[in-house]
Amino acid sequence: MNLELSLKTQNVRSFNMSENGLVSMRKKVQAAVMEDDDIIMLTNVQLGGNKTAVEREFLFGGKNPYEIYTNSTVNDAKGVLIATKIKANIQVIDIRKDEDDRVLILKTVIGNETITLGCLYDDNRNNTNALQKVDEFLTSMDVKHGIIIGGDYNVITNRELDQIGYENQHLRTKAVKYLADWDEKGTLVDIYRKKHKKGKDVTYVPDTEKDRLNPKLGRRLDKFLVSDDLNIKETTIHHVSDNVYKQKLNMTKKFDHGAVRLVYNKQKSKVGPGQFKLDPYMIKTGALDSIIKEVIYESNVYNADIKEITETYTERNRIVQPLLQKLLEINMERKTK
């Protein structure tokens, strides 16, 4: 895998110009693109008829132009948006969106990798409708790996770690169970919690809190969930307080959610001819043990410097490597059924 990519997700509390005005909308777009990330996933955008104006700001309002994909039909509730930096050369090959303005899924090609991006603005009622839609879309797009879903999940899964100042649990028990099932199967996992077992960052801070940098009330509602193959060590996660944007841009219509930024810096290992490319799933599926002896044998033959044999093995591996990868994927599917 070769994946050098930066992503950001944030609840922007509406781009509705009838409520906030053109100046406020522009400042919110400036805040969204401030870090110049490759992909920006925004929730609660409330575009409606303002889509063209917001689209123009993403093209011309920042350091680099962005193309936007939206699922936001009304200007007074909900709505999700994914912005891709044009310079990042992200090719969108398939799109799915629900009818409730809560889910947007893009199947993309980034470099040589197929990455499926999603933005989710979940309900705050005790249901799993939006989460089920994500599953439905991933299945219809035949996607099992290379998934990144950012957004406002409107739920905490750990009462002690995902909130400060509150004592009660979010009463979305069905969503908590659904997310736990995803995590157990490796379908989608909370990459922040995997990397920071005891982390206590929060993203939502109520307006009543005057100290935005060190609030006494807050919850971690915004996050990235990724498929297990993208839960890798070559990542960093940053939480940015809403106060940062307010101060830098002198925002009067401020956010009540901070941003979460996820950065991948995974470079593909160079592999010489005559050797198999090892995938992390080889260990999980047990395939690694079965091929180690074969790898050693092939390496010894290759290093013998017998031209005819070397050419034969090099040609053979052009066929064997992709075939082995496919067999591993089939094996993984069987284990999850």
Q: Is 223:192 a contact under the CB 8 Å cutoff? A: yes
State the Cα–Cα distance between residues 308 and 297, nearest whole angstrom: 16
Query: pLDDT, tens digit, for every residue of 155-211?
Result: 999 999 999 999 876 779 999 999 999 999 999 999 999 999 999 999 999 999 999
Per-residue burial over 150-178, b if 16 or more Cβ lie within 10 Å, else e, is: bbbbbbbbeeebbbbeeeeebebeebbeb
pLDDT higher for 1 or 219? 219
Residues 286 and 223 in one domain: no
Residue 252 pLDDT: 87
Residue 170 pLDDT: 72
Residue 232 pLDDT: 97
Residues 221 and 125 in one domain: yes
Residues 107 and 15 in one domain: yes
Q: What is the DSSP code string of 71-99?
A: E---SSS--EEEEEEGGG-EEEEEEEE-T
How does residue 1 score in pLDDT terms, banded at 50, 70 and 90?
A: confident
How does residue 303 score in pLDDT terms, banded at 50, 70 and 90?
A: low
Residues 255 and 301 in one domain: no
Of 129, 148, 113, whose CA–CA distance to 9 is shortest?
A: 148
Query: pLDDT, tens digit, for every residue of 57-114?
Result: 999 999 999 999 999 999 889 999 999 999 999 999 999 999 999 999 999 999 999 9
Token output for 128: 């799993």
User: How many helices (H) and strands (E) are present in the chain, helices listed first?
Assistant: 9, 14
Of 320, 325, 317, whose CA–CA distance to 280 is shortest?
A: 325
Q: Evaluate if residue 330 carries a pLDDT over 70.
A: no
Q: Evaluate if residue 302 carries a pLDDT over 60.
A: no
Number of structural domains (the chain) is 2
Answer whether residue 299 is part of any domain: yes
Answer whether residue 205 is part of any domain: yes
**Any idea of the CA torsion for 151, 131, 69, 27, to the nearest 10 degrees?**
-30
How does residue 236 score in pLDDT terms, banded at 50, 70 and 90?
A: very high
Mean pLDDT of 130-149: 98
Q: Is 50:16 a contact under the CB 8 Å cutoff? A: yes
CATH number, domain containing residue 195: 3.60.10.10
Burial bucket for residue 135 (CB in 10 Å: 0-12, 13-18, 19+): middle
Q: Which of 239, 266, 293 is the last residue of a domain?
A: 266
Token output for 148: 């990144």
Residues 247 and 288 in one domain: no
Residue 129 pLDDT: 98
Token output for 168: 């009660």
Answer whether residue 272 is part of any domain: no
Residues 51 and 110 in one domain: yes
- pLDDT, averaged across the chain: 88
Q: Which of 266, 292, 309 is the last residue of a domain?
A: 266
Residue 170 carries which DSSP code? P
Residues 193 and 323 in one domain: no
Residues 285 and 240 in one domain: no
Q: Is 121:222 a contact under the CB 8 Å cutoff? A: no
Of 125, 109, 123, 193, whose CA–CA distance to 151 is shortest?
A: 123
State the Cα–Cα distance between residues 82 and 188, nearest whole angstrom: 19
* Global pTM exceeds 0.85: no
How does residue 11 score in pLDDT terms, banded at 50, 70 and 90?
A: very high
Query: Any long-range contacts for 304-311 (C-beta under 8 Å, 24+ apart)?
Result: 310/273, 310/274
Q: Three-class SS of residue 278?
A: coil
Burial bucket for residue 325 (CB in 10 Å: 0-12, 13-18, 19+): middle
pLDDT over 70, % of the chain:
79
Domain carrying residue 316:
281-336
**First-residue to last-residue Cα distance in the chain:** 26
Q: Evaluate if residue 234 carries a pLDDT over 70.
A: yes
Helix (H) / strand (E) element for 134: namely helix 129-140
State the Cα–Cα distance between residues 82 and 150, nearest whole angstrom: 10
Query: pLDDT, tens digit, for every residue of 237-267?
Result: 999 999 999 999 999 888 999 999 999 998 8
